[in-house]
């Protein structure tokens, strides 16, 4: 079966500074795939290249059989790619419901848009309870749920998340990882970058460790967790 997302030989530079040097990565339908690696390894840049926020110099990014490298970011939701950027970015002055609606601004059918909002509320009952609140008043964990919910509004075939657990309290880290697993169990396909590498790999069918813009390790989540070199380098030893 062809991959849902296939990245081959990806090279990206910011100005004169090259940061990715031929990265390869595959995501099959139904998988959770994690990208791990130290700060500055290029994890976010891989994601940004996929969603049209970093210019691709070389290589292919094929999504669902279509070459998408260097397509503009704003068409990604319509192609079936949902993106949750790093940092829980929500529209602070807007209500929870309006934030969700923004995730489906391309959906002109208001009935379908409302149905999508209801589905997100079923997924995240906490957001339903707070639906009339401005997003800026939510806790960090609730804002992250909202950012994820917004990315689900167009019913994406691939959900890409950059550091979904970063900066959250331990309680909310658990909530977010539980939600990611629930999304997989509902048949969604996820590609995520995570600092919390052990937690991410436990959940993942496949993982990639990047270093200085190169692939360093690629294997099943289980095998990476059991690999002594991976443990020493990325999982704090032991
Ligand atoms: N907009 C930019 N302009 C110039 N250099 C950038 C830009 N964004 C990232 N970089 C550089 O590219 C390299 C890779 O950055 P990237 O954000 O992809 O790393 P990362 O693995 O996501 O790191 P972190 O774990 O800190 O989020 C770093 O050296 C970074 O300084
Ligand atoms: Mg990053």
pLDDT tens column, 29-64: 999 999 999 999 999 999 999 999 999 999 999 999
Q: What does the pLDDT look like over 141-150, one tens digit per residue?
A: 999 999 999 9
- How do beta strands 81-84 and 214-219 pair? unpaired
For atom 25 of ligand 1, the residue with the nearest CA is 39
The CATH classification number of 5-234 equals 3.40.50.300
**What ligand is nearest to the CA atom of residue 195?**
1
Q: Whole-prediction pTM value?
A: 0.95
Tokens of 211: 């270093």
Q: Take atom 10 of ligand 1 and give the residue whose Cα is closest.
A: 14
CB 194 within 8 A of CB 204: no
**Rounded-to-integer distance, Cα 207 and Cα 99, Å:** 31
Pocket around ligand 1: residues whose beta carbon is below 6 Å from it?
Answer: 14, 17, 19, 37, 39-45
CB 47 within 8 A of CB 25: no
* Res. 18: pLDDT tops 80: yes
The two counts, helices (H) then strands (E), for the chain are: 10, 10
Q: Which of 35, 39, 45 to mutate to test the pocket of ligand 1 (most atoms within 8 A of CB)?
A: 45
Beta strands 190-193 and 32-36, pairing class: parallel
Supply the pLDDT for residue 238: 55
Ligand 1 atom nearest to 193, measured from its CA:
22
């Amino acid at each position: 079966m062809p991959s849902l997302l296939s990245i081959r030989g990806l090279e990206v530079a910011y100005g004169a500074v090259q940061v990715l040097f031929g990265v390869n990565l595959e995501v099959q339908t139904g998988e959770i795939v994690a990208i791990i690696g130290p700060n500055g390894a290029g994890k976010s840049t891989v994601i940004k290249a996929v969603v049209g926020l970093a210019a691709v110099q070389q290589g292919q990014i094929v999504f669902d059989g279509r070459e998408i490298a260097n397509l503009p970011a704003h068409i990604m939701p319509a192609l079936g790619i949902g993106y949750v950027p790093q940092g829980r970015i929500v529209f602070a002055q807007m209500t929870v419901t309006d934030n969700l609606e923004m995730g489906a601004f391309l959906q002109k059918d208001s009935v379908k848009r409302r149905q999508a909002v209801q589905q997100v509320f079923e997924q995240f009952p906490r957001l339903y309870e707070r639906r009339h609140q401005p997003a800026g008043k939510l806790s960090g964990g609730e804002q992250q749920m909202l950012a994820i919910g917004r990315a689900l509004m167009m019913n994406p075939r691939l959900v890409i998340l950059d550091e979904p657990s970063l900066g959250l309290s331990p309680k909310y880290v658990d909530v977010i990882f539980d939600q990611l697993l629930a999304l997989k169990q509902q048949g969604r396909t996820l590609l995520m970058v995570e600092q919390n590498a052990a937690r991410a790999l436990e959940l993942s069918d496949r993982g990639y460790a990047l270093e200085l813009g190169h692939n360093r390790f690629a294997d099943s989540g289980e095998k990476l967790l059991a690999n002594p070199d991976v443990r020493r380098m990325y999982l704090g030893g032991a």
